[in-house]
Structure 1
């Protein structure tokens, strides 16, 4: 599904160098099979331009294109789960966000689904991360169990949304990630490509 046709979430729904293994947050010895990988957008796949509505400002972060390509080659579905409160704040239109999403989608060769929350924090919706709505909806669209998804993001809200949905979370810290978010994350990676390569290595290890 293209970013242009994927509807945003609605408040009414109920539902680079490779890093070494992190000694503080080592990966558990066994994982269930990964059904899908869901990425945060800003600060994870692309440079974080606050309230960006201009596709020309989109810049992929290092490793983003290769990470998505590796997952595609492995047959693992991908998606994006993104808070876009600029819509609710009146700083962006829904069309602006879709155009930016389309640009990212084109640069990355197409992801399986795009789900975003247009609400400001005070709306109290079920979709805005750290609540689980975006993760649950992306999993539903991809036809997978959210508990078999991996969510990769750069801040604590991504980790908490994954946990609330029963998914695995991998934090890829950057300059805006708070130390306490890193300390409390169940799993971290030094960069995006390291996170994806780890997931794929574990997948190959699970296969007979």
Structure 2
């Protein structure tokens, strides 16, 4: 088993955009691709865990999500960076059909996506970090047994950092500080 860095997507890796469903609306937060590249260079698995209620609410589909992630992959590749795995939770209390679930185990703050990733990729959650811009990201990480880092991008400027092991201006600083502590 090896530790990983779990990343929220919107507001952590890329600029926050309500219901991001069009690849051309994707804008990476400055320095985030280089931060992912630093993790990749150290052989640390990078896993995106993202709530995507827009899918559940019928605002866009899985193909739109895939197109945005493909564009992100292209932008990351420009910095010699990549994401090892992506997990998305479309469930929401206002979702449609099978996605109309108020408290699905995968939807953050529940730790389901992190637990699935750990099982499927043989990851050590106790040695891992969860990085995000919302309290629900931190709670999901804690509930999965990870250390947690809050970034002050996206919604992070409004979040109480007292529950975080680390508070950073952005993903670049968070990764720098995580790597300084990495075993």
**TM-score over 0.5 for the alignment?**
yes
Q: 1:139–1:149: 8 Å Cα contact kept in structure 2? A: no
- Give the equivalent residue in structure 1 for 2:97: none
Indicate the SS of the match to 1:111: coil
* Root-mean-square deviation over aligned CA pairs: 1.8
Q: Could you say which structure has the higher helix fraction?
A: 2
Give the deviation of 1:79 after TM superposition. 1.1
- Give the equivalent residue in structure 1 for 2:127: 148
Which among 78, 91, 108 is matched to residue 129 of structure 1? Answer: 108
TM-score of the superposed pair, with normalisation by structure 1 = 0.77
In terms of mean alpha carbon deviation, does 103-112 or 45-54 score higher?
103-112
In terms of mean alpha carbon deviation, does 113-122 or 45-54 score higher?
113-122
Indicate the SS of the match to 1:152: strand
- Give the equivalent residue in structure 1 for 2:152: 173
Larger Rg: 1
- Give the equivalent residue in structure 1 for 2:6: 38
Q: 1:155–1:178: 8 Å Cα contact kept in structure 2? A: no
Q: What does 1:1-208 correspond to in 2, within 5 Å?
A: 35-109=3-77, 110-121=82-93, 123=101, 124-174=103-153, 176-177=155-156, 179=158, 181-203=160-182, 206=183
Q: Cα deviation per residue 1:84-110 (whole Å; 9 max; x = unaligned)?
A: 000111111111111111111221132
Where does structure 2 lack aligned partners over 5 or more consecutive residues? 95-100
Take 2:181 and 2:22, find their aligned partners in 1: how far apart are those partners?
37
In terms of mean alpha carbon deviation, does 160-169 or 113-122 score higher?
113-122
Aligned residues: 172
Q: 1:34–1:150: 8 Å Cα contact kept in structure 2? A: no
Q: Cα deviation per residue 1:138-185 (whole Å; 9 max; x = unaligned)?
A: 222322122221111001000000001011110002352364532333
Give the deviation of 1:194 after TM superposition. 1.0
The ranges of structure 1 where at least 4 consecutive aligned residues each deviate by more than 4 angstroms after the TM superposition are none
- Give the equivalent residue in structure 1 for 2:98: none
Give the deviation of 1:58 after TM superposition. 0.8
In terms of mean alpha carbon deviation, does 177-186 or 190-199 score higher?
177-186
Take 1:175 and 1:77, find their aligned partners in 2: how far apart are those partners?
23
